[in-house]
Amino acid sequence: STTVTESSFVPNSLFGMGNPLLDISAVVDKDFLEKYGLKPNDQILAEDKHKALFDEIVKKFKVEYHAGGATQNSIKIAQWMIQDPHKVCTFFGCIGEDKFGEILKQKSEEAHVDAYYYEQTEEPTGTCAACITGDNRSLVANLAAANCYKKDKHLDLKENWKLVEKAKVYYIAGFFLTVSLESILKVAKHASENNKLFTLNLSAPFISQFFKDALMEVMPYVDVLFGNETEAATFSKEQGFQTEDIEEIAKKAEALPKVNKKRPRIVVFTQGKDGTIMTKGDKVETFPVLKIDQKDIVDTNGAGDAFVGGFLSELVQDKELEQCVKAGHYAANIIIRRAGCTFPEKPDFH
C-alpha cells in the first residue's frame, strides 16, 4: 500500500466561517439555571434578561476562558487531527479590537489555523457563557462583534475570496445563519458550482424554529448535513416531516431538493452516548460511539463540534465516510475528558 505523503495536504483546503466567541465556562448550580430560565442542555442567544448572567457567572463561580464558537472549534479540531502541515484549515469571522479578540487570535495561531478576522470597533468580541451541570451544558451566546460580519467588508475582498477558492471542503455552523445569510450563500454556491463539498450543521433547535427560511435557502447546496438528536427532532417538526424516528428524519432530510446532482446529500446525526446515524444511498447506518466511563467525562461542551472536526479532517483527505465518522467519534471522546473544547498535544487516531 502506498503511504500518503504529507504534501498531499494543500494549505487552506478546509474552509470555515462562523461566530468566533470566547467561552466563559463554569460549573454552576440548578438555582443559577433557574434564575435565568435556562434548560440544562441547550444553546440560545442572549436576551436582555441574560445580560447580568455574564457578570454573575464570573463573580460567583470558578470560570475558565476558552476560545470557542462552534465553527471555529470544529476547524481547530480538524487542524489538530491533521497536525501537519499547518494551516490546512482557514477560518473567517468577526471580532472586536480588544483583549478577548487578541486571545482568540492567539489561540488560532497556537492551533495552527489560518484565521482571518474582520476586526471592527463598534462591538466587543463575542462571548458565550457555558453553564455546566453534570453531563449537561447550557450555552448562552452574546454574539456582539460576531454579529457584525459583513460580506462586502471581508468575504468579497479579493485576497480573502482567493482563500475561499483554494478550499475543497466548506463548513459553516447553522449559528451563522443569524449573522450573514448572503455570505453563506456566496460560499455555498461557489462549492456547488465547482462540485466541491459544502457542509452545514443544524446547530441548535432555535435555528430550525426561528431561522427556518434562511436555513431552507441554504439547504439545496448542502452536501453533508450535521446535527444531534434534539436538533433533528425540531427540524422534523418544523418541516412537517410528521415523524420522531431519527432514521426517518435523516432520510427525509437527505431527500430535500439539491442543486448539485452529482453528489447525493449525506445526513449525519449524533445522539450523545447512543450511536451516530448516517444516510448512505437509501440505507441508514448506525455507528456506535466509543465507550467512556461516566467518571471520565469532564464536560460535554464542544463534543458535537469535535465530532464534526474529526469528520472533516478525514473528509478533506477523501477518506471513506465510515472513516470520517470514526474520526469524529475519536475526537469527541477526547474532548469530553477535558474542560471546554480543548485537546492534548497530539491525537492518537489511526
How does the average pLDDT of the chain come out, rounded? 95
- Which residues are registered as beta bridge partners of 89? 14
Pick the closest to residue 221 from 250, 246, 256 (CA basis).
256
Residues annotated as catalytic are: 305
pTM over 0.75: yes
CA angle 178, 173, 249 (to 5 degrees): 100
Amino acid at 211: F
SS3 284: strand
Residue extents of the structural domains in the chain: 14-20+69-123+144-336
With beta carbons less than 8 A apart as the criterion, state whether 143 and 179 touch: yes
Mean pLDDT within 244-251: 98
Least confident of 47-51, 82-86, 179-183, 338-342: 338-342
Residue 77's pLDDT is 96
Find the mean pLDDT for residues 13-35: 97
H helix runs in 111-228, sequence order: 158-166, 181-193, 205-210, 212-218
Q: Which one-letter amino acid corresponds to residue 110?
A: E
Length of the chain: 350
Q: How far is CA 246 from CA 17, 206, 227, 291, in A?
A: 28, 18, 11, 22
| 90-149 residue pLDDT tens | 999 999 999 999 999 999 999 999 999 999 999 999 999 999 998 889 999 999 999 999
Query: Pairing mode, if any, of strands 21-27 and 64-68?
Result: antiparallel
pLDDT at residue 1 in the model:
46
What was the pLDDT predicted at 2? 47
Reported confidence tier of residue 350, pLDDT bands at 50, 70, 90: confident
- Give the pLDDT band (50/70/90) at residue 341: confident
**DSSP E strand stretches across 40-155:** 42-45, 64-68, 89-96, 114-120, 126-133, 136-142
What's the whole-number mean pLDDT along residues 216-238?
98
Can you tell me the distance from the alpha carbon of 330 to that of 350, in angstroms, rounded to the nearest whole number? 10
pLDDT at 66: 87
Across residues 22-36, what is the average pLDDT?
96
Rounded to the nearest 10°, the torsion over CA 312, 316, 317, 318 is 100
User: How high is the pLDDT of residue 322?
Assistant: 97
**C-beta of residue 313 within 8 angstroms of C-beta of residue 307:** no
Determine the topology of domain 14-20+69-123+144-336 in CATH: UDP-N-acetylmuramoyl-L-alanine:D-glutamate ligase (3.40.1190)
| Percentage of the residues of the chain whose pLDDT score is greater than 70 | 97
Strands 224-228 and 197-201: parallel
Half-sphere exposure of 146 (CA within 13 A, CB side): 25
Looking at residue 88, its pLDDT comes to 97
Whole-angstrom distance, CA of residue 68 vs CA of residue 94? 13
